[in-house]
Amino acid sequence: MDQNARRRFLVNAGYGIGAYAFSGLLPGGGFISSVQAAEYLDPLAPKQPHHAAKAKAVIWLHMAGAPSTLDLFDYKPELVKLHGQPLPDSFSKNLKTATDGGVGALYATKRTWKQYGESGAWFSDLVPNLAQHADKICFLKGSKTEGSTHVIASLKLHTSGLVPGRPALGSWIQYGLGTNNPDLPAFVVLANGRSTGGGGRGQVIWSSGFLPAVYQGTAFRQGDSPILHLDRPAGVSDVEQRNTLELLKNLNQRTAARYPADTELEARLRSYDLAYRMQKSAPEAVDLSKETDATKKLYGLDDKSTVEYGTNLLRARRLIEKGVRFVHVISGSPDDSLPDWDAHNNIEKNHGTMAKLVDKPIAGLLADLEARGLLKDTLVVWTSEFGRTPYGQTGDGRDHNPWGFTSWVAGGGIKAGYTHGATDEIGLRAASGIVDTYDLQATLLHQLGLDHRKLTFQYQGRQEKATTVFGDVVQEIIT
């Protein structure tokens, strides 16, 4: 069998190297005919939503390590009253503790609480800047999840799965809507500080899972060159690089014309072109030199403690302005002395440091988005893998709490200045308006014009959905 005949046989059989590689770019991972090939050459082409969208982009603020929302947003006078007493039996019934630390006495930290805005939302003294934006925020105070470990709960929050292998929400959004800017990734990840890679909070939570790899998140680094190996090789001019790409394009197009069912070459050429365009577009997208001093100060870039996280949030705003659909911002600790928000001990030091790191930048982001008319089209999501217990651990910390905590959303057609749901009197379990992470994802997809029941991908003979088989849109929080 000659080489051409052998190649045709392999391609027609569906297992040619090129066909197999490109099959990963197709809905369901299937093989396509030459007639269908042109339709799928650009998997990131803009797609029509299922219904009219109220939002265009998401900025997801992941508080890695799980802050105690009891000490930020969920004021519980009864917890203050019962401080130091054992957990009452009425609350501990059927309670399976999260770790081996046991159940300590009820613990109220030394917080000062006030109500803000026309909504009268409660904020502690840990977040004074964010409190000024109370009337922009929709609180989900009946949030709950499954899994008492960071790995499991974080996977569920971001991928709706309890084990690795499922796509992140940002990947599903790319798959469902395509890109708004072909010169930039549609799903960008911005992490700061330390302790942002372990415990299920690393690349696995921005993976494309069983979706084609083209939909995975792209991590941007700090500094002027946000993507590794993006810069043009030393000694190669722009003209030389462009000429090389044109030569490769011409040669590969001639070959591709002979084998129209083998789309690997065309797909690879598109990736070359995207990388070339990103050499200019990506650094420009994160270049803050043209931002005013007032804007930089708004995000806390003039303060050593907030400059890194503030830089990421200002970059996030610039990215969604340029058409990026999903920006995943992961908070990390400033040094090795703190395990991000994971305050099993010394919660006063931990939360005092971590809250200061994010409070002013997030307040600045909300103010900046509103001033630029972007908040109405942008969903800002503040959440974590779970919350923390009202009882103490190791004397001055809190354990993991998947049973009841607070998340919040702002912008993008979500009711502003509204509180949905509540935990019980001491903040242990969600008691009303319960919102599971499945429901949160379904609601965000809905606001972007995607029906989580119709957003499907065929994988191993099953029609997989973004939120598995669970999730309901929280209609009460939608305008």
The neighbouring-strand residues paired with 400 are 388
Tokens of 325: 């659909």
Tokens of 24: 């990963």
What pLDDT sits at residue 246? 76
Q: Alpha-carbon distance 337 to 409, whole Å? A: 30
What pLDDT sits at residue 198? 45
Residues in Cβ contact with 433 at an 8 Å cutoff, skipping those fewer than 6 apart: 140, 141, 142, 420, 421, 422, 476
What pLDDT sits at residue 400? 94
The neighbouring-strand residues paired with 310 are none
Residues of the chain where predicted confidence (pLDDT) is lower than 70: 1-41, 98-101, 195-202, 224-225, 227-236, 241, 260-276
Nearest CA-CA partner of 173 in 138, 216, 210, 140: 216
Quickly tell me which residue has 């082409």 as its tokens.
45
User: Cβ(389)–Cβ(403) under 8 Å?
Assistant: no
Tokens of 47: 């797609």
Q: Alpha-carbon distance 390 to 78, whole Å? A: 11
- For 24, 166, 176, 389, 439, the CA distances from 466, given in Å and listed in that order, are 18, 9, 10, 30, 11
Q: Alpha-carbon distance 441 to 467, whole Å? A: 7
Specify the amino acid at residue 435: V
Q: Alpha-carbon distance 187 to 174, whole Å? A: 7
Q: Which H, E and C letters describe the chain, residue by residue?
A: CCHHHHHHHHHHCCCCHHHHHHHCCCHHHCCCCHHHHHHHCCCCCCCCCCCCCCCCEEEEEECCCCCCHHHCCCCCHHHHHCCCCCCCHHHHCCCCCCCCCCCCCECCCCCCEEEECCCCEEEECCCHHHHCCHHHEEEEEEEECCCCCHHHHHHHHHHCCCCCCCCCHHHHHHHHHCCCCCCCCCEEEEECCECCCCCCCCHHHHCCCCCCHHHCCEEECCCCCCCCCCCCCCCCCHHHHHHHHHHHHHHHHHHHHHCCCCCHHHHHHHHHHHHHHHHHHHHHHCCCCCCCHHHHHHCCCCCCCCHHHHHHHHHHHHHHHCCCCEEEEECCECCCCCCCCCCCCCHHHHHHHHHHHHHHHHHHHHHHHHHCCCHHHEEEEEECCCEEEEEEECCCEEEEECCCEEEEEECCCECCCEEECEECCCCCCEEECCEEHHHHHHHHHHHCCCCCCCCEEEECCEEEECCCCCCCCCHHHEC
Q: Alpha-carbon distance 401 to 70, whole Å? A: 11
What pLDDT sits at residue 25? 40
pTM confidence score: 0.86
What pLDDT sits at residue 213? 84
Q: Alpha-carbon distance 168 to 445, whole Å? A: 12
What pLDDT sits at residue 261? 63
The neighbouring-strand residues paired with 190 are 220, 329
What pLDDT sits at residue 44? 86
Q: Alpha-carbon distance 471 to 455, whole Å? A: 13
Tokens of 449: 């014009």
Q: Alpha-carbon distance 135 to 151, whole Å? A: 33
Specify the amino acid at residue 239: V
Q: Alpha-carbon distance 49 to 148, whole Å? A: 35
Q: Alpha-carbon distance 111 to 347, whole Å? A: 12
Q: Alpha-carbon distance 398 to 66, whole Å? A: 10
Q: Alpha-carbon distance 465 to 161, whole Å? A: 11
What pLDDT sits at residue 233? 65
Number of other residues whose CB lies within 10 A of the CB of residue 421: 22
